[in-house]
């Protein structure tokens, strides 16, 4: 993989260990309904999950929209799409589609709701992607963008400087690591109306976020931006902090809603 295209390539080619981590990280949880509340999903809604990954959130939304609605999942990873399609082969209100390039494989005005969660930090050009969102949403359709801003991440017991060193080393995994703070401006520039932004910052003190740190460790080591020994030592320190009740991970999520005029 090239360092210049790693931000996209590492999603097209995923090893078994990462797939297993994602299948634990992206399961449908009770808190998803509250997280998706700004999308205003209803019975009969037609919703697109852009960058659906393993497809578990798409499945949860299909349950909300019911048999009169439809949930579409699109992703650039063929394995995700195939596995999710096979798992839902007997369901009529859900389908998964492989995306290749910028164009979403749906007709104009196909959906009235669109979710894009933790994806825009990876796309080659945010405005090109938002133009596609504008195209597939019908007039009056509602958009929910959720994304991280790695400039605000906190990990204890690492402290500020070591945390920044670790995530700077992993930065090749992202096209725009600080996309969160820019989402509102991007949505307005793309022509969406009624744009609103809020920030949600959960805190993990029990170690569930170690899955995230292990993914980042792989990215940080990919191009020797930091030594494997240092990465392993930092992960070991974080794991020990969980046992000592000194661990904390916090990553703000920016939630931006908008309407297609």
- The predicted pLDDT at position 163 comes to 97
Q: Which two tokens stand for residue 65?
A: 């929209």
- Residue at token pair 């670790």: 166
Rounded Cα distance, 144 and 180, in Å? 13
Report pLDDT digits (tens) over 58-98. 999 999 999 999 999 999 999 999 999 999 999 999 999 99
Burial 229-255 (b: 16+ CB within 10 A, else e): eebeebbeebeebbeeeebbbebbbbb
Q: What angle do CA 136, 39, 108 make, to 5 degrees?
A: 5
Q: Is 142 left (phi over 0), alpha (psi -120 to 50) or beta?
A: beta
Query: CA nearest 58: which of 99, 8, 113, 2?
Result: 113
Helix (H/G/I), strand (E/B), else coil: 101: coil
Per-residue pLDDT of the chain (261 residues; tens, 9 = 90+): 688 899 999 899 888 888 888 888 888 887 888 899 999 999 999 999 999 999 999 999 999 999 999 999 999 999 999 999 999 999 999 999 999 899 999 999 999 999 999 999 999 999 999 999 999 999 999 999 999 999 999 999 999 999 999 999 999 999 999 999 999 999 999 999 999 999 999 899 999 999 999 989 989 888 888 999 999 999 999 999 999 999 999 999 999 999 999
Per the CB < 8 A criterion, the answer to whether 203 and 250 are in contact is yes
- The predicted pLDDT at position 19 comes to 84
């Amino acid at each position: 993989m090239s360092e210049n295209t790693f931000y996209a390539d590492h999603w097209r080619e995923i090893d078994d260990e990462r797939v297993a981590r994602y299948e634990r990280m992206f399961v449908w949880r009770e808190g998803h309904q509250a997280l998706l509340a700004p999308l205003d999903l209803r019975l009969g809604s037609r919703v697109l999950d852009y960058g659906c990954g393993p497809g578990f959130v798409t499945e949860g939304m299909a349950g909300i929209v019911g048999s009169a609605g439809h949930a579409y999942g699109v992703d650039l990873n063929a394995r995700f799409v195939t596995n999710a399609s096979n798992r839902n082969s007997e369901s009529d209100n859900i389908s998964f589609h492989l995306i290749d390039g910028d164009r979403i494989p749906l007709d104009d005005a196909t959906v009235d709701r669109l979710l894009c969660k933790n994806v825009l930090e990876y796309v080659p050009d945010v405005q090109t992607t938002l133009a596609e969102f504008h195209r597939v949403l019908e007039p009056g359709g509602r958009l929910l963008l959720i994304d991280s801003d790695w400039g605000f991440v906190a990990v204890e017991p690492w402290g500020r400087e070591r945390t920044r060193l670790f995530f700077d080393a992993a930065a090749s995994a992202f096209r725009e690591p600080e996309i969160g703070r820019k989402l509102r401006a991007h949505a307005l520039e793309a022509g969406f109306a009624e744009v609103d932004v809020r920030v949600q910052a959960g805190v993990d003190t029990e170690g569930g976020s170690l899955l995230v740190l292990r993914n980042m460790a792989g990215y940080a080591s990919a191009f020797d931006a930091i030594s494997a020994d240092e990465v392993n030592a930092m992960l070991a320190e974080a794991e020990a902090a969980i046992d000592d009740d000194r661990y904390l991970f916090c990553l703000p999520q920016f939630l931006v809603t908008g309407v297609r005029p």
